[in-house]
Amino acid sequence: MKEEIENLQEEIIEEVLYILPIKSLLRFKCVSKRWRSLISSKRFAKEHLKKKSSTSTNDSDFSRRTLYSFYRWHNYCGSDSVGSIFHLGQCNLPSETTTTETSSSFNLQSLTAATLSIDSISIVLYGSCNGLILFSMLHLVNSLLIWNPATRQAKKLPPPYLLSQGMWPSCFFHGIGYDESTDDYKVVNISKDFSPYHYQTHI
Amino acid sequence: MAAETGTPTTLTLKSNDDELFSVAESAAILSVTIRNMVEDGCAGGVIPLDNVDGKTLASVITYMNGISAIPADEEKKKSYRDKFLSDKDFETLADMVLAANYLNMSCLMDAVSAKIAQVMEKKSVGWVRRKFGIENDYTPEEEAAVKEEHKWTFEGVETDDDN
């Protein structure tokens, strides 16, 4: 019996990796530099998302569960709403996207599943796309965050332009979407008192 | 083609270690590689399969016969594939995925890839390196840094079963 499968061609290995859950993939970044750069590449992430979206798997289930738990929290805490808006979209299932839109903010005791271990903090959820969740801390709206529950990685975005200029529009919303023409995710910010603008971010 | 003439045609396949196998043409043409040879009229004599050894070819032929005996019922085909692969070890699976790729048998290829992924899912980094013959080109410091980045993914890893 062969102990090493030396000639298992790279493309076949790649096909196998696409099937693996994210937890295994992130661990296998440690296998070699070649594996790390393959697994970290944008092309790989897109292909992986495509395969995962077309089949019902643990990863997309996980994202959905996370969104549902956000949603449940919202329902539970809905009574002490302060009137912000968030959109709950299950955009990780492209063909059968269902979007629940509701009007409230909610409190989250802690994001236990995340690496963000924040206790007793108010979270405003703005939207989600392909399993990414866009949110901010209440009263700290200049710190927008994008969280990927599947990789448990979060990224802090630069503050919106107006806020960085010291201006505070009376009301503003954020959303996240995927822009095919630039192959990137875009966060769109619309404010009431000023003209809409957007900025781009890399995930 | 055999299906049209009504007479079952048998093909002879030869592995790279010179073993000969007889297989019904109707089963063998699950391989697009073999089907193309049949359609081009060059499957008359012995068909040499230079990239497949006898042990693996025997397995693949068992699969060809088994799956082609099942009528068009995707559920039953799937459960046959699951059962067929359930007792195969990693080395056998790796040989089979290469053979399926060479023979261009997408249903076997997909099933074996999924099975390999299932076997790998909870394995350690060291296990993967050994099984895939990959040399660790990280310095200990670099490896520790990559590990630190995704520390949570090292929870629940199975103990290696190969040494």
Q: Quote the CA–CA distance of A176 and A197 in Å, as a whole number.
A: 13
Most confident of A78-87, A158-167, B135-144: B135-144
Q: Looking at the domain assignment, is residue A16 inside a domain?
A: yes
Would the pLDDT of B46 be above 50? yes
pLDDT attached to residue A181: 66
Same domain, A46 and A118: no
Same domain, A139 and A169: yes
pLDDT in tens, B148-157: 888 888 988 8
With an 8 Å Cβ cutoff, is A119 touching chain B?
A: no
Residues of B with CB under 8 A from a CB of A: 89-91, 94-95, 97-98, 101, 109, 113-114, 116-117, 120-122, 125, 128-138, 143, 146-147, 149-150, 152-154, 157
Would the pLDDT of A163 be above 70? no
Same domain, A38 and A120: no
Q: Looking at the domain assignment, is residue A74 inside a domain?
A: yes
Q: Which of A142-146, A188-192, B13-17 has the lowest mean pLDDT?
A: A188-192
With an 8 Å Cβ cutoff, is A140 touching chain B?
A: no
Instruction: Look at the block and give the residue holding tokens 């980045």.
Output: B149
Same domain, A77 and A7: no
pLDDT attached to residue B67: 93
Q: Which two tokens stand for residue B81?
A: 């594939």
Nearest C-alpha of chain B: how many angstroms from A18?
9
Domains in chain B and their CATH numbers?
2-120 (3.30.710.10), 125-154 (no CATH)
Q: Looking at the domain assignment, is residue A61 inside a domain?
A: no
pLDDT in tens, B2-39: 445 556 789 999 999 999 999 999 999 999 999 999 88
Same domain, A51 and A75: no
Strands A184-191 and A153-156: unpaired
Which residues from A are below 8 Å from B134, CB to CB? 31-32, 34-35
When the pLDDT of each residue in chain B is averaged and rounded to a whole number, the result is 89
Same domain, A28 and A74: no
Same domain, A16 and A78: no
pLDDT attached to residue A79: 30
Same domain, A83 and A164: yes
Would the pLDDT of B110 be above 80? yes
Strands B10-14 and B46-48: parallel
Mean pLDDT value of segment A27-55: 84
CA angle B69, B75, B81 (to 5 degrees): 60
- DSSP, collapsed to helix, strand or coil, labels residue B76 as helix
Please tell me which residue, B85 or A83, carries the higher pLDDT value.
Answer: B85
Q: Looking at the domain assignment, is residue A128 inside a domain?
A: yes
Same domain, A78 and A176: yes
Cβ <8 Å between B122 and A8: no
Cβ <8 Å between B114 and A35: no
Q: Looking at the domain assignment, is residue A202 inside a domain?
A: no
Q: Looking at the domain assignment, is residue A163 inside a domain?
A: yes
CB atoms within 10 A of CB A57: 15
Q: Looking at the domain assignment, is residue A100 inside a domain?
A: no
pLDDT attached to residue B150: 85
Residue span of the structural domain in which A12 resides: 1-55
Same domain, A30 and A130: no
Would the pLDDT of B123 be above 70? yes
pLDDT in tens, A85-133: 222 222 222 222 222 222 222 222 222 223 233 333 455 666 666 667 6
Nearest C-alpha of chain A: how many angstroms from B153?
5
Task: Quote the number of domains for chain A.
Answer: 2
Could you tell me the pLDDT band of residue B82, with boundaries at 50, 70 and 90?
Answer: very high
State the ipTM, two decimals.
0.85
Same domain, A116 and A158: yes
Q: Looking at the domain assignment, is residue A199 inside a domain?
A: no
| pTM beyond 0.90 | no
Nearest C-alpha of chain A: how many angstroms from B95?
8
Same domain, A114 and A71: yes
